[in-house]
Amino acid sequence: MRMEKAYAIVFSLCLLAFTAYALLDTFVITRVYETVDQSVQIQQASPTAETEGRALAALQTCGGGTEGRGNAQEEQSGAADAENAAAADDEQAQIEISEYRVNDTSVYVADIQLSSANQLKTAFSQNSYGRNVTADTSDTAASLGATLAINGDNYGSREKGYVIRNGVLYRDTAAKDQEDLVVYADGSFEIINESEITAQELLTNGAVQVFSFGPGLLENGALTVDSSDEVDRAKASNPRTAIGILGENHYVFVVADGRTEESEGLSLYELAVFMQGLGVETAYNLDGGGSSTMVYQGTLVNNPTSGHGIDERAVTDILYI
């Protein structure tokens, strides 16, 4: 009898230790798989003939002044002035930040008109692709000189789900019934299911960014969630981060506050309805909760809740302009 009790105690202790290690490995232990040089010009995936044509048309129709809101390359003197001026136009981005009050929640919308799809970029925290390699959204944005940034899909807290960033495939392990957002070289959006296509096929088709969180909120302007849909383990009313496309090189970043007396938070359905009202064609839910953060010109726009009051939660990746 004593031996059986001893075995039971040892087994329980081993199980407890294994569980503790598994939790630490999932949420705490940092593993760097690859260091990424994000300070150099980002190399986009080569577009197909079709996407190249659409991108060229976009560059021919976009441009104009930024009214003080965007970044442009400085013109240089001499025979290269005209060429440099054209390059400056291509680097302009018009960004307008608005605040809405929806269902007792403060919602912040960045309306973004780009002159080139290349201006919509992503970055890994600490210049590293890996597991639980994190930094505040504002810190990563500052290190890259980003004008505008939001948190990404926090890929590094999970072992599965496609990861394609800036035209490079980092993870091709599919997650069951996982909906991803694909951003192609021409800046267009598509929502796919990982069970129906491989990551390599997406890359071959011209995918530049693939985010694996979800779900999709809108497709062709129609709602793809209802009031019963929710992210695993999430509350019905929650801080949210989402991205949507309005037209050619025309996007919105949306961040909703939550979990405070001032802001209740939104359900996925409420978020989708709100973005539909903005005229968004395709919308996708990114990591939310304490991760939800928007930074504009080095200043926090929203009020992120990290569990320690109003403060940023460190995340593994960002989207930025």
Give CA separation, 248 vs 42, 209, 226, 275, 278, in Å: 21, 16, 27, 17, 15
Q: Of the ranges 10-24, 61-75, 130-144, 224-238, which is most confident?
A: 130-144
Confidence of residue 7 (pLDDT cuts 50, 70, 90): low
Domain extents in the chain = 2-320
pLDDT given at position 71? 37
Reduce the secondary structure of the chain to three states and give it as a string.
Answer: CHHHHHHHHHHHHHHHHHHHHHHHHHHCCCEEEEECCCCCCCCCCCCCHHHHHHHHHHHHHCCCCCCCCCCCCCCCCCCCHHHHHHHHHHCCEEEEEEEEEECCEEEEEEEEEECCHHHCEEEEHHHEEEECCCECHHHHHHHHCCCEEEECCCHHHCCCCCEEECCEEEECCCCCCCEEEEEECCCCEEEEECCCCCHHHHHHCCEEEEECCCCEEEECCEECCCCCCCCCCCCCCECEEEEEEEECCEEEEEEECCCCCCCCCECHHHHHHHHHHCCCCEEEECCCHHHCCEEECCEECCCCECCCCECCCCECEEEEC
The reported pLDDT for the residue numbered 37 is 83
Residue 301 predicted with pLDDT over 70:
yes
pLDDT (0 to 100) of residue 232? 55
Q: pLDDT per residue over 255-298, tens digit each?
A: 999 999 999 999 999 999 999 999 999 999 999 999 999 999 99
Alpha carbon distance 78, 155 (integer Å): 47
pLDDT for res 92: 83
Q: Are 126 and 35 in contact (CB under 8 A)?
A: no
What's the whole-number mean pLDDT along residues 144-168?
Answer: 97
Average pLDDT in the 141-166 region?
A: 97
Give the range with max mean pLDDT: 6-20, 37-51, 84-98, 240-254: 240-254
Q: In the β-sheet with 317-320, what is the strand arrangement from edge to edge?
A: 121-124, 317-320, 148-151, 294-296, 299-300
Using alpha carbons, select from 135, 127, 133 the residue that is nearest to residue 35: 127
Q: What is the mean pLDDT of residues 44-51?
A: 41
Mean pLDDT of the chain: 82
The total number of residues shown for the chain amounts to 321
* Closest by Cα among 285, 293, 298 to 315: 293
Mean pLDDT lowest among 12-26, 119-133, 182-196, 206-220: 12-26
Dihedral Cα 25, 27, 28, 29, nearest 10 deg: 30
Q: Among 276, 269, 257, 194, which Cα is nearest to 230's?
A: 269
Provide the pLDDT for residue 235: 55
- Rounded CA gap, 28 and 164, in Å? 23
Q: Are 179 and 216 in contact (CB under 8 A)?
A: yes
